[in-house]
Structure 1
Amino acid sequence: MKKPKRLKPSSRIAIISPSSGLPYLFPDNYELGLNNLQEFIGFEVVEMPTARMSPDDLYRNPQLRANDINRCFEDDQIDGIITSIGGYESIRILPFLDLELIMEHPKFLMGLSDATTFLSYLNQLGMITFYEPTVMAGFAQVKSLPPEFLQHLKSMFFSNQFPYRYAPYPRWTNAYKDWSNLETLGECEAFTENEQGWTFLQGTSVEQGYLWGGCMEVLEFMKSTIYWPHETFWEDKVLFFETSEEKPSPMQVGYMLRNYGMQGIFSKIKGVMIGRAKDYTDEEKQKLNEITINVIKGEFGADRIPVVVDVDFGHTDPKLILPLGGKVELNPITNDIILLESPFTE
Structure 2
Amino acid sequence: MSFKLIKPMKLNKGDKVATVSLSWGGAGDDEILWRYEQGKERLQNIFGLEVVEMPHTLKGSEFIYNNPKKRAEDLMMAFSDKSIKGIFSCIGGEESIRMLPYIDFNIIGSNPKVFIGYSDSTTTHLICLKAGLSSFYGASVLNEFAENVRMHDYTVKYVNKTLFSNEPIGKIESPEYWTSERVPWLIENKYTERKMQPNTGYELLQGTGIAQGRLIGGCVEVLEMAKQTSLWPSDDVWKGAVLFLETSEDMPEPTYVEYWLRNYGTQGILNKINGIIWGKPYNNKYYDEYKEVIYKILRELKLNELPVLYNVSFGHTLPMTVIPYGALAEINCEESIFSILESGVI
Matched, 1:114 2:125: no
Distance 2:86 2:208 in 1: 39
Deviation (angstroms), 1:115: 0.8
Q: Which runs of 5+ in 2 are unaligned?
A: none
Matched, 1:291 2:293: yes
Matched, 1:191 2:206: no
Of residues 229-238 and 68-77 in structure 1, the stretch that sits farther from structure 2 once superposed is 229-238
In structure 1, the partner of 2:109 is 103
1:141–1:187 contact (8 Å) kept in structure 2: no
Deviation (angstroms), 1:163: 4.8
Paired letter, 1:200: L
Paired letter, 1:332: C
Matched, 1:271 2:275: yes
In structure 1, the partner of 2:184 is 178
Q: Secondary structure of the residue that 2:52 maps to in structure 1?
A: strand
Q: How does 1:1-346 map to 2 (within 5 A)?
A: 1-25=5-29, 26-141=32-147, 143-180=149-186, 182-185=187-190, 187-194=192-199, 196-281=200-285, 284-296=286-298, 298-345=299-346
Distance 1:55 1:256 in 2: 29
1:93-142 deviation digits (Å, cap 9, x = unpaired): 12211111110111100111111012023214421011110000100117
Of residues 98-107 and 122-131 in structure 1, the stretch that sits farther from structure 2 once superposed is 122-131
Distance 2:191 2:216 in 1: 30
Distance 2:60 2:265 in 1: 40
1:229-263 deviation digits (Å, cap 9, x = unpaired): 22333101111111111110122111111100000
Of residues 133-142 and 255-264 in structure 1, the stretch that sits farther from structure 2 once superposed is 133-142
1:239–1:269 contact (8 Å) kept in structure 2: yes
Q: Secondary structure of the residue that 1:110 maps to in structure 2?
A: strand
Distance 1:108 1:87 in 2: 20
Distance 2:25 2:131 in 1: 28
Kindly report the root-mean-square deviation, in angstroms, between the aligned alpha carbons of the 2 structures: 1.5
Q: What TM-score, normalized by structure 1, do the two folds share?
A: 0.94
Q: What TM-score, normalized by structure 2, do the two folds share?
A: 0.94
1:63-113 deviation digits (Å, cap 9, x = unpaired): 110011111111110000001000111001122111111101111001111
Distance 1:79 1:146 in 2: 24
Deviation (angstroms), 1:176: 4.2
Deviation (angstroms), 1:61: 1.0
Fraction of identical pairs, as percent: 36
Q: Secondary structure of the residue that 2:18 maps to in structure 1?
A: strand
Q: Secondary structure of the residue that 1:137 maps to in structure 2?
A: helix
Distance of aligned partners of 1:95 and 1:248 in 2 relative to their CA distance in 1, 3 Å threshold: same
Distance of aligned partners of 1:145 and 1:139 in 2 relative to their CA distance in 1, 3 Å threshold: closer
Deviation (angstroms), 1:188: 4.1
Distance of aligned partners of 1:213 and 1:244 in 2 relative to their CA distance in 1, 3 Å threshold: same
Q: Secondary structure of the residue that 1:241 maps to in structure 2?
A: strand
Aligned residue pairs total 340
Distance 1:149 1:280 in 2: 19
Distance 1:315 1:187 in 2: 19
Q: Secondary structure of the residue that 2:284 maps to in structure 1?
A: coil
1:36–1:142 contact (8 Å) kept in structure 2: no
